[in-house]
Structure formats: C-alpha cells, structure tokens
Amino acid sequence: MKSYVFCLSLVLVSLAPRAGAQSNSTESVSLAGEVELGGQSASGLIVVLASAGGLDRRSDVHADGAFEFPDVPSGEYELKVTTLHGGVIHSEYVSLQLLRNHLSVRLRRQEQERPASGTVSAARLQHKVPSKARKEFEKGLEAARKNDSAAAIGHFAKATELDPDFMEAHNNLGVQHLKCDGNETALEEFQKAVELDPAALSPHVNLALVLLRMDRPSDAEAAARKAIRLDGSNENARYCLGVALLQQQKSTSEALDNLQRASETIPRARLAIADTLAKRGDVERAKKELRAYLNSGSPPDRRSVETWLAELQ
C-alpha cells in the first residue's frame, strides 16, 4: 500500500498570536495555497476546513496543486486532506487568526510498504477526537491567544485526559509548560506527542528546544535531525541543530550553515554565528552578522549587541 507523508510548512510550533493578529472571530479571510506532490498531479485530492460548529468548507485541489477558500470566518479549524472517496490522509489543527493567508502543504510520496508494526501517522490521523476533548482543546487555544498559560494548561491537560491519543493536545500542553519553565513536564508531553505521531514535525522541533534548555545538546541534536528529515526547510529545526552542534563543540561548519539558513526567520541565530566567527578571528564577518541582527527589527537586547559591536570595531 502506498503511503503519503505530509508536512504543513506553516505548522506553528507555539500557538501564540503574531504581533498585531486580530482576535475578532467574525473577521473573514481569503485563504489560498497549494499542495506540492513532487511534480506529480494532485488531482483527486480535496482540502477540507472543518469547524467546531460542524460546517465543513471544501476545496478541490487542481492538477497543479492549487486550492482556495475565498471567504472563511477566522477561527479554529481542522484542516484535512482527503481522497475523492473521503479517506482522510492528513489532518492538522490550524488557526486562521494565526496563519498568514497562504498555506503550503508539501507532500512526498513514499513507494515503500507501510511497516507492519509501530505508529503510522495515517492511522493516527484517522483516529476520531471525541467532541469533549476537541472543545477543551479549542478552549486551550483561546487561552493561549490571550497569553493565559495557566488556563491553557488546564484545558489542554483535560483534553489529553479525555483523549490520551490526542497528539496535538499533548504538543500544545508541552508548549505552555515550556513557556512557564516547566521543562520536565514539557519534555514528557513532547515525547508523548512524538510517540503518538513520529511523522509530526512540531513535536520533534519542540523536543529539540526543551532539550537545549535542559542542557542536553546531544539529545537535542538527535531530535533536530529527525525534524529536518521531516522538513528540511524548517528554520526552527535548523536553529536547534546549529546551537546543539556549537554547544558540543563539533561540526562548526555544519553548525554555521544551519544557523545561516535559520537567520532570516530567527535573527538570534546571527548572534551565535557572530560569536563563533569572532572566536575564529573573522571579525569583519562577525560585525556584519551583528549589524544584520540590529537591522532585523526591534531586538530586546539591542544595547548589549551595540556594545558588543563597538568592542569589535
């Protein structure tokens, strides 16, 4: 049986609102996107947005992979990719208050047989989340948007009690514990999420993040490499791998390459690059990275970085 592995390139590691994001649930957005299938035709696939209210919105995927939803109320949805016969081959919770108005779904087709044992992502995604667990999860998302981690933890924890196999709830519960410095608990939740769905990207990235925070760079490296195998374009995974390698004082060139790939999205990567370059005596390139960091927006540690730059002059 042929299987599909999906990766939503805009999966959120932490479900927290972007700066300036609107919270008005009545606002509508136009959502467009594409399904990438390694050059193969995507005809026959359907993208479904399922709301808690039971109203499903559907969009046929064109041969070139394009799909669109012209007028969708912002809110929380379960995004599903199905076959023409209704078979669910991917499911992910998304917030149209948090995503940009373009969603890219990349697929790669695997020709090998599915393993006879072990956790298979497609099988997990066919698991139906009980309505009570889903409601608690949605309440958790709402609390997270309000930066109320205590309430979010309560709702996500209840969702996992109602449905122990609810991977997204375990992942988001871990995120909230991580925000509250509950590293050990966050680690347990991310490990559970990875166990439930080894093909899910976010838990692997989050696992690498918490392992770095716990000063376990070797384990963080392993988690980051698994995330990169799932999606080589993920900047968070690249950042974690780069930092983990530097902390172990190994593969400096690989570390710098990964940090450079992450630097456009994660400006702090430039600080690690600059520190490494300065220690190697490459002062000019280090200064260039520091200037790029200072020009990336409004970094909270601007003064200390400006002082650092002045000392390198």
Q: Which domains does the chain have, with CATH numbers?
A: 3-126 (2.60.40.10), 133-266 (1.25.40.10)
d(CA 262, CA 251): 17
Closest to 81 in 3D by CA, of 118, 27, 39, 36: 36
Residue 37: the pLDDT is: 66
> What spatial distance separates the first Cα and last Cα of the chain, rounded to whole Å?
62
* DSSP conformational letter for 8: E
Coil vs helix vs strand at 270: helix
H or E, element range at 103: strand 102-110
Least confident of 187-191, 248-252, 253-257: 248-252
pTM, full prediction: 0.64
Determine contact, residues 197/124, Cβ cutoff 8 Å: yes
Determine contact, residues 197/167, Cβ cutoff 8 Å: yes
* Tens digits of residue pLDDT in 78-93: 777 777 656 666 666 6
Residue 99: both structure tokens together: 């995503």
d(CA 4, CA 37): 10
Residue 305: both structure tokens together: 């970085």
* Tens digits of residue pLDDT in 23-42: 344 466 677 777 766 666 66
* Tens digits of residue pLDDT in 260-271: 999 988 899 999
Residue 117: the pLDDT is: 26
Cβ neighbors of 122 (< 8 A, separation 6 or more) are 3, 4, 89, 114
Closest to 136 in 3D by CA, of 212, 248, 52: 52
CA angle 264, 266, 269 (to 5 degrees): 95
Query: 237 pLDDT exceeds 70?
Result: yes
What is the phi/psi pair of residue 165, to 5°?
-95, 15
Top-confidence residue, 300 or 99? 300
What percent of the chain has a predicted confidence (pLDDT) above 90? 39
- Tell me the sheet residues that pair with 50: 56, 78
* Tens digits of residue pLDDT in 150-204: 999 999 999 999 999 998 899 999 999 988 889 999 999 999 999 998 888 889 9
Please state, as a whole number, how many other Cβ atoms lie within 10 Å of the Cβ of residue 128.
9
Query: Residue written as tokens 């948090």?
Result: 98
d(CA 138, CA 78): 11
Top-confidence residue, 308 or 7? 308
d(CA 277, CA 286): 5
Q: What number of H helices and E strands is found in the chain? A: 12, 8
Query: 215 pLDDT exceeds 60?
Result: yes
Mean pLDDT taken over the chain = 77
Query: Residue written as tokens 């016969």?
Result: 85
* Tens digits of residue pLDDT in 169-179: 999 999 999 88
d(CA 222, CA 244): 9
Radius of gyration of the chain (CA): 21
CA angle 255, 182, 92 (to 5 degrees): 70
H or E, element range at 46: strand 45-51
H or E, element range at 218: helix 217-230
Residue 52: the pLDDT is: 63
* Tens digits of residue pLDDT in 123-155: 454 567 888 998 998 899 888 888 899 999 999
Determine contact, residues 65/106, Cβ cutoff 8 Å: no
